[in-house]
Each structure stands twice: as C-alpha cells, then as structure tokens.
C-alpha cells in the first residue's frame, strides 16, 4: 500500500472521522455516523483504496 492521501486531505479526513464518531458516542447521534471510522482510518493510514482505483494521489512526491 503506497500512501496516496496527504496534506489537507489527510487532516480533513481525521477531523471529519473524529467528529462523526464523537457525535454518535457522546450525543447519541444516528447510527450511520459510525461511518466516520472510514475517513478516520484512511486519514491515519494515508491510504485510500478508492483513490487507488480512480488514480488519485493527494500525497506530495518525496
């Protein structure tokens, strides 16, 4: 798995993921908000399978 998520994309994924999970856990939000696990995981791992399929890479070349 080569990193394909970077920069602002990574930060937004983590923030949105944590916000959705917190909404469900703390405020009793809807069950669908557990989907926040997906952007959180992809942000932390710097890899998105869908990006690979679509040929998208937001990670700067090293």
Q: For residue 48, give the nearest of 22, 24, 14 by alpha carbon.
A: 14
Residue 23 to residue 62: CA distance in whole angstroms: 36
Q: What angle do CA 49, 52, 58 make, to 5 degrees?
A: 100
How does residue 60 score in pLDDT terms, banded at 50, 70 and 90? Answer: confident
pLDDT tens, residue by residue, 17-45: 999 999 999 999 999 999 999 999 999 99
Q: List C-alpha distances in Å: 32 to 24, 28, 39.
A: 9, 11, 13
pLDDT at residue 11 greater than cutoff 70? yes
pLDDT at residue 4 greater than cutoff 80? yes
* pTM of structure: 0.89
Mean pLDDT of 46-53: 96
């Amino acid at each position: 798995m080569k990193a394909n998520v970077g920069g602002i994309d990574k930060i937004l994924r983590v923030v949105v993921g944590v916000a959705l999970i917190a909404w469900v856990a703390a405020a009793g939000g809807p069950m669908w908000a557990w989907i926040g696990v997906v952007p959180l995981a992809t942000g932390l791992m710097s890899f998105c399978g869908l990006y690979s399929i679509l040929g998208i890479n937001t990670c700067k070349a090293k």
